[in-house]
Structure 1
């Protein structure tokens, strides 16, 4: 059945106009929120006055990103993947509960602005700077990969039509994000991310409706079709050597979540802006439930997209001569579902991706200003605000460079790329915190910690290259982060010594 919203297709000019209006709204909100208070305390901690329900809802947009919006549905078409990602999501949920009950109470007891201050008090200054540096590297690369995905979509479906080069699209995207985050920081992000999550959640719900309508399915019929399709297998029990094996995915999901959320200044900064530990935990528990449901919806969208593509003879798009499943969703939304569904898709994609990137830029700026410039220990002054602005510009430009490098070098699905990055960069953080929490009678030779944190991911990378030669047909998946963290932990143990003081943390 054909409805009024299928009358005309989305054009590049229409897409550009929507993006301009969208960012105009975000900049207006940013100016309104930060007009009265652009202090460092508001930028770093939102004056510790955030409402837990706003944080919980806004974190959905930050945690999901454009990768979940495009790359996860796109991967559903692979026989070895299908709904495999939901195994990982179940591990994520367990990891969120561990963060809420173990890490958040620790951070609140210590009244931290930067969560890496824990490492300073527990292991030493060099270890602290090492942990903060790992975060800066990890979050810059990871966020650049997420933004790269949406810029590729904008370039292909909008700016190629105007002859705009890829590098300028990247620069413009980062410039717009900078425009609404540089003044208010976290105080602004809490509000804008809530708005962007509304767009994201609405988008996935309406997308399911629009595709169901175009396939002449009712919602119950659609979920029955998904269940009976060749795309909906969730649990892979058959071969424990393969990367899609259920235990590997769940364990990987737990560890990646603890590392990429619980040990990540970006998402923890939002939690630490709540009034107290009780509200922060309510935020995490609520967020966990919504997160699981929304991811199941995204996987269902993926199955429906492939059913739609089969029915209408739509091929998975190619980029630089290679098939890119990341582009199937935008291809159908922009070229086959017409105006209103395409607008809904665009708003959801933009919200998901920019909610992640704006939050990351704020967290990167906070970490550098607190961990390396010590701004949380100094009196607020106009000069410090100017310095903070310069740091914010610096990370925006750094992300610009990283996105261009990913564009020139990457051919993988972006979701695969991000979890590869996480395994190598967040592993040492996981090892550092595990040592700090579980080896309370020991400390380390502080100056040797950077060497351990470089050697561990290097050995992990070499091991991943020769997995089949060493372990037969065993394939590492997301559990590779456990190997990296384990090597870091072992290295710290080798350079450890008995602690002269009893740690309280």
Structure 2
């Protein structure tokens, strides 16, 4: 695919996003930036959240997993259903009852200032690393297929990438993102559909569902080896807790839900979002089967994360497929990254600087400065990945380690919602720092001694260590009236 075609595609794509930001950013203020004036239609939020959940990493990686893991990932997706039910029935009523802008304000009300700052800090760390890693992958792809041809260095590519996000989010914030995420989700799903159609046509498949069902890679449920990482109950329970933590306890994802007009609309959003997400994940895995078979029949030596990009862009499936693949990849990455920049700005402004206690004019100035600050933070983190670490396998491990930071959030919220104890607030940061360390060491011991892989269930273990630590350091005579609904 010629570089000038890619440039035209990128210009057209971002022109549409900037045009949306112009309309949604009219008369915008802090309430618009943080909560979209509580005016977002629930169906737009639901559809846009699909794109935010399926980042560029998912867009590339999930189809590539099928060759080695079949469709075992669906076990985790089925667990998501339980997790999203908990969000809709437990967490959303709590957030709306307390009228929260940042969901971590709950920790201040429930436990105290140290717990509040700790929860927000873990989110800021995790989201910064996660968003930077996703953008790093996409910037690498753009560098290879476009900017290298013009001799443009990687750091310029990264700066352009973040600048484009800042341009269409700096005024309207979350209100703009609700609309741009909807468009980006649509592009992503069209890309998957086009690729499925193109490969099915090349392989002369008449019925895609029968083909997938009869394929040897279509196995979903794994009950054979309890020690394996793909064992059903590990994946299912991990999926439930991953959904609760990485959606329900994540400011990025919940900020969109809190822009709905009321609780009922937010719950409707979660219901339909769950259905659509399950279906979309199935099609990603079905695409993985088609890509694997296509590669084998055409002698294409590409596996895992390379499988989808190589087949889609090498010209075998035609120019149109390559265009939609790049469009889908960019949409998947930016639908996650733009909301990350906004949620980082929101959390730091509300949770760390507490700008809601300042006058309106001062709030506006501080929020704009923080938005710019986190743009530079993302740029710096991506460049560290590229120039100082420079090993993608190590970077991937850092991204995986970011998942450890959600465990303490799980433990904090579980203890707050399901017990009536008050804790020694000053001990909470120590507990939350030690829990991921205990989790890492425990996993190493179980792997060495029993060949037992916790897999995605590490999140549950991490949360359990945090919960136990909080239980140990409760205050005497600390039985209180909980804020649970």
Displacement after TM superposition at 1:501 (Å): 4.4
1:377 aligns with 2:357: yes
**Contact 1:67–1:415 (8 Å) recurs in 2:** no
- Cα gap change, 1:97 to 1:275, in 2 (>3 Å): same
Displacement after TM superposition at 1:504 (Å): 3.2
**Contact 1:67–1:414 (8 Å) recurs in 2:** no
SS in 1 for 2:55: helix
Distance of 1:73 and 1:332 partners within structure 2: 12
1:197-216 equivalent positions in 2, closer than 5 A: 197-216=185-204
- Cα gap change, 1:475 to 1:98, in 2 (>3 Å): same
Q: How much is the aligned-residue C-alpha RMSD, in angstroms?
A: 1.8
Distance of 1:82 and 1:308 partners within structure 2: 15
Distance of 1:492 and 1:480 partners within structure 2: 18
Displacement after TM superposition at 1:297 (Å): 0.3
Which of 359-368 and 162-171 deviates more?
162-171
- Cα gap change, 1:82 to 1:148, in 2 (>3 Å): farther
Counterpart in 1 of 2:232? 246
1:479 aligns with 2:457: yes
**Contact 2:356–2:363 (8 Å) recurs in 1:** no
Displacement after TM superposition at 1:348 (Å): 1.2
Distance of 2:70 and 2:261 partners within structure 1: 41
1:28 aligns with 2:9: no
Distance of 2:390 and 2:92 partners within structure 1: 37
Residue 488 (structure 1) aligned to one of 431, 445, 466: 466
SS in 1 for 2:204: coil
Residue-by-residue CA offset, 1:257-277 (whole Å, 9 max, x unaligned): 111100000110111111111
1:188 aligns with 2:169: no
Counterpart in 1 of 2:42? 52
Counterpart in 2 of 1:83? 71
Contiguous gaps of at least 5 residues in structure 2:
none
1:73 aligns with 2:94: no
Which of 326-335 and 474-483 deviates more?
326-335
Residue 39 (structure 1) aligned to one of 29, 32, 39: 29
**Contact 1:146–1:414 (8 Å) recurs in 2:** no
Counterpart in 2 of 1:261? 247
The alignment's TM-score, normalised by the length of structure 2, stands at 0.95
**Contact 1:361–1:392 (8 Å) recurs in 2:** yes
**Contact 1:43–1:183 (8 Å) recurs in 2:** yes
Displacement after TM superposition at 1:500 (Å): 6.3
Residue 267 (structure 2) aligned to one of 267, 281, 292: 281
- Cα gap change, 1:414 to 1:223, in 2 (>3 Å): farther
Distance of 2:104 and 2:391 partners within structure 1: 31
Displacement after TM superposition at 1:227 (Å): 2.8
Residue 348 (structure 1) aligned to one of 303, 311, 328: 328
1:421 aligns with 2:402: yes
Distance of 1:158 and 1:255 partners within structure 2: 39
Contiguous gaps of at least 5 residues in structure 1:
1-9, 317-323
Counterpart in 2 of 1:446? 425
Residue-by-residue CA offset, 1:138-189 (whole Å, 9 max, x unaligned): 1111122222222222222222222223332222211111111111101111
Displacement after TM superposition at 1:293 (Å): 0.1
**Contact 2:406–2:459 (8 Å) recurs in 1:** yes
Distance of 2:115 and 2:73 partners within structure 1: 34
SS in 2 for 1:478: helix
SS in 1 for 2:10: helix
**Contact 1:419–1:478 (8 Å) recurs in 2:** no
- Give the aligned length: 480
Counterpart in 1 of 2:106? 118
Distance of 1:412 and 1:249 partners within structure 2: 23
SS in 2 for 1:443: strand
Displacement after TM superposition at 1:55 (Å): 0.6
Distance of 2:285 and 2:75 partners within structure 1: 12
SS in 2 for 1:499: strand
Distance of 1:451 and 1:459 partners within structure 2: 12
